[in-house]
Amino acid sequence: MKRLLSLDILRGMTVAGMIVVNNAGGQLSYDSLRHAEWNGLTPCDLVFPFFLFIMGFSISIALRKFGYAPSKSVIVKILKRTLLILLVGWAIHWVGHLCWGDYFPLAHLRLTGVLPRIAICYGIVALMVLYTPHKWLPRIAVLLLVGYALLLWIGNGYANDPTNLLARIDHFLLGEEHLYTKQSVDPEGVASTLSSIAHTIIGFLCGKLLLAADGSKENAASRLPLRLVRLFVAGSLMLMVGYLLTEALPLNKRIWSPSFTLVTCGGAALLLGVLTYVIDLKGYRRWCRPFEVFGVNPLFLYVLSEVGSILLGRFGLKAPVCEALHAAISNPYLASAAYAVGYALLLWLCGYPLYKRKIYIKL
């Protein structure tokens, strides 16, 4: 099967967006580079859900060559990758403590976060794909979203305070010391992982849809236009249903509301469809090559950006750069954005030699 360059480009756009969003240069940043305070949706809120969608899509590619059949080698590979991503996520938090002299932060090391959520969703969905009939997966995704919606409804799930059942579950299972402390509700909490798993399943199903993984001997590329239309239809339906649900279940990234799952999956499917048409079908590729650098080593460059950000802060290198930018650029929002984009470009320079040498560091 021919590689979908559009998937690498969308992944690269997403990782570049994650790096920019996480590295504002100062206290101020544009609204579009900040997460919604609670209910609502900003461009910043799209990057992580797009990554989960892409990961689900990638699972369909990775396991397709094994016929979606479980084997010892495949299961070991999935479990190893899950554990590695989980440990790297915890290690990043550990580095943050080490830099300030806290060498053994086990009592208050954050157990949740972006990489732990990626690891859990990857491991569960990959194993589910191997052991569950695929015709059941849409029903499982719907059941997860409906069940989670009921949990939000009965558990005061839209309250940004300690009465929220999601917060109470996290405190009971993990303890306050191991959670995100800047808000009452952890944005990568235990219960909201249910919706994230459904999110990843939807990405997998869209992967099967676009890649014609139906057992047919016909060349998948010749059937791509029809599959592309179906992907556009699926994306549009998810987007429409998601927005219709916002009256009862507002868009909310921090609790990963069901409407948020549907809207962001719909948006990701539509954007991937457009990129597939432009890049893989029409062959317009030169404009998107810079994003491919991020797309072929996504988690490595993301982890490098997180560790680099911690070290820049610890050794006092970030502050003078930010001050210089704010002195040169009168608009503080623009200066902040310039730092974030500049930092992303620095990471691009780190990834470019790997890209040229076709070195892919997989986590």
Residues 136 and 275 reside in one and the same domain: yes
Residues 101 and 210 reside in one and the same domain: yes
**Has residue 307 been placed in a domain?**
yes
Domain boundary among 250, 284, 318: 284
Measured between alpha carbons, how far is 27 from 24 in angstroms, rounded to an integer? Answer: 8
Confidence of residue 216 (pLDDT cuts 50, 70, 90): very low
**Has residue 128 been placed in a domain?**
yes
**Has residue 43 been placed in a domain?**
no
Q: How many domains does the chain have?
A: 2
**What pLDDT shows up at residue 196?**
98
How far apart, in Å, are the Cα atoms of 262 and each of 86, 162, 308, 316?
26, 27, 33, 42
Residues 94 and 203 reside in one and the same domain: yes
Residues 241 and 325 reside in one and the same domain: no
Residues 19 and 130 reside in one and the same domain: no
How many CB atoms neighbour CB 222 within 10 A? 9
Mean pLDDT of 281-289: 89
Query: Is pLDDT above 80 for 42?
Result: yes
The percentage of residues in the chain with a pLDDT greater than 70, rounded to a whole number, is 94
Confidence of residue 254 (pLDDT cuts 50, 70, 90): very high
Mean pLDDT of 3-22: 92
pTM of the complete model: 0.91
**What pLDDT shows up at residue 213?**
46
**What pLDDT shows up at residue 22?**
87
**What pLDDT shows up at residue 225?**
75
**What pLDDT shows up at residue 30?**
67
**What pLDDT shows up at residue 221?**
43
Top pLDDT among 331 and 86 is at 86
Query: Is pLDDT above 60 for 328?
Result: yes
Residues 30 and 67 reside in one and the same domain: no
Residues 250 and 356 reside in one and the same domain: no
**Has residue 40 been placed in a domain?**
no
Residue 331, domain extent: 1-34+296-363
Mean pLDDT of 142-147: 97
Nearest Cα neighbor of 262 from 121, 144, 98 is 144
**What pLDDT shows up at residue 214?**
45
Mean pLDDT of 254-271: 97
**What pLDDT shows up at residue 219?**
41
Residues 179 and 302 reside in one and the same domain: no
**What pLDDT shows up at residue 133?**
94
Residues 249 and 313 reside in one and the same domain: no
**Has residue 246 been placed in a domain?**
yes
**Has residue 308 been placed in a domain?**
yes
Domain boundary among 284, 307, 329: 284
Averaged pLDDT of the chain: 90
Nearest Cα neighbor of 99 from 305, 310, 304 is 310
Q: Is 347 exposed, middle or buried (0-12, 13-18, 19+ CB in 10 A)?
A: buried
**What pLDDT shows up at residue 84?**
96
Residues 16 and 72 reside in one and the same domain: no
Q: What's at 304, amino acid-wise? A: L
Residues 63 and 143 reside in one and the same domain: yes
Domain boundary among 284, 306, 326: 284
Residues 9 and 128 reside in one and the same domain: no
Cβ(26)–Cβ(342) below 8 Å: no
**What are the helix (H) ranges across 183-222?**
193-211
**Has residue 227 been placed in a domain?**
yes
**Has residue 289 been placed in a domain?**
no
